[in-house]
Every structure is written in C-alpha cells, then in structure tokens.
Structure 1
Amino acid sequence: MTDPEDEPLADWAARRERDRAEQRQKLGKRRVVPLSEGARASHIAPDAPRLLLEWNGTGWTTCGVAANADAAREFLGHVPEPEAGHDAPPSWPGLGPGRGRHRKP
C-alpha cells in the first residue's frame, strides 16, 4: 500500500467505498429484535415474539413479527438441526469407533 499522502483522493475514496460495502455485507441484511421486556438473549425468553427487520440500503424496515425464537431463526436463515433419536450415540468430535487407551471402558 502506498503512503496515504501520495494516494490520490479519488483512489482513496474508491477504496474506502469498497471497504465499507464489504463491511455492510459482513454485518448482514436481516435482524431480529425481541418484543419482550428485559434481556435480549434468545435463551432467556424463547417463546417471546420477535420483530423481524430487514436492511433496505439506508435503514432497517419492519418485515413482520415471529411468534418465537425458532421462527426468528428461520427468518435469519439458520436451519435447525434434526433431533437425534434416543438410540443414536452422541457424536464426539474427532473420535472414531473402537477402544483406545485414552478412552474409558
């Protein structure tokens, strides 16, 4: 990168606009805000309704209301994992089948 004093203003402005556009993409286009009083964490009040907001390029606009935290996660694009049956063994990361010295019998 060149010295900021040597960089032309037009180049700096273009680079700044690119960086700001990338940052906006990272922040996301959708937001969920709980409508209940108190803490905003989803695990505190999972059955409380949520306000669904979407970024239109200049500000947040209301899209609707989700009935609970699960419906809000679907709006954000988070797909819930299927629940494993009671017969399925827990999945431990990095451990394959078999018995080793480091595993309990």
Structure 2
Amino acid sequence: MNDEPLDRWAARRQGRLRAPGELKAVTLGSGPHRAAHVNPDAPRMILEWDGFAWQALMIVDDFAEACRILYPTPQPQQRAQPAPPKQPGRHRKP
C-alpha cells in the first residue's frame, strides 16, 4: 500500500481550501436563486468565509453594488523613484 506522507497530503489539501476573508454574494428574495443577470435589481447579502463557515457581512441594494464590494477597483500605486545612474567605478573599464 502506497501511503502519501502527511505533510504532502496537508499541502495538497491546503491548496483546495478557501482562504479566510473570501467574499460572495447571495441573492435575497423569492424565486429560484440563479445567475445574477436573472434579477439584477434584487438585494444581495454579502457573506464572508471565516475559515469554518460563511458569515453574513452586509446587505446591499442590487447586483451592481455587490460587484463593487466583491471586486473593488485597484487603487493606483505610486511609482517608485528611479534609481540614480550608476557612476563608473575604478574597477570598470571606460
């Protein structure tokens, strides 16, 4: 019998698990809970995975607002200052 080492199994399992802090939106209201485009004006509940269960975080008005929370626009990053030009050293050939 070929048993997999526990550390390799644990690493493989960890790769399949959700990361705590992951968010998802659930449609609230009557009717079947299908794709978001079926009823984009229905309110949504934002849920957060805490590592063990989904926890209710907030309720938003519609699909568009849920998308803004789930997929925020990235903030522009400040550009790093360019490195000063290298000065020729004694060990370098001109």
Query: For this structure pair, what is the TM-score category when the shorter chain's length is used for normalisation?
Result: 0.5 to 0.7
Hey, what's the Cα distance between the residues in 2 that align with 1:74 and 1:20? 31
Unaligned runs of 5+ in 1: 80-105
Aligned to 1:38: 31
Q: Which runs of 5+ in 2 are unaligned?
A: 74-94
Greater relative contact order (Cα 8 A, min sep 6): structure 1 or 2? 2
- 1:17 CA drift (Å): 1.8
> CA RMSD of the aligned region, Å?
2.2
SS of the counterpart of 1:43?
helix
Match of 1:73 among 67, 72, 93: 67
Q: State the shift of 1:38 in Å.
A: 1.8
4+ residue runs over 4 A deviation: none
Decide whether the 8 Å contact of 2:43 with 2:63 is kept in 1.
Answer: yes
Over alpha carbons, which structure has the higher Rg? 2
Share of identical aligned residues, percent? Answer: 30
TM norm structure 2: 0.63
List per-residue Cα deviations over 1:54-86 (Å, max 9, x = no partner). Answer: 10011111110111001111222165xxxxxxx
The number of equivalent residue pairs is 71
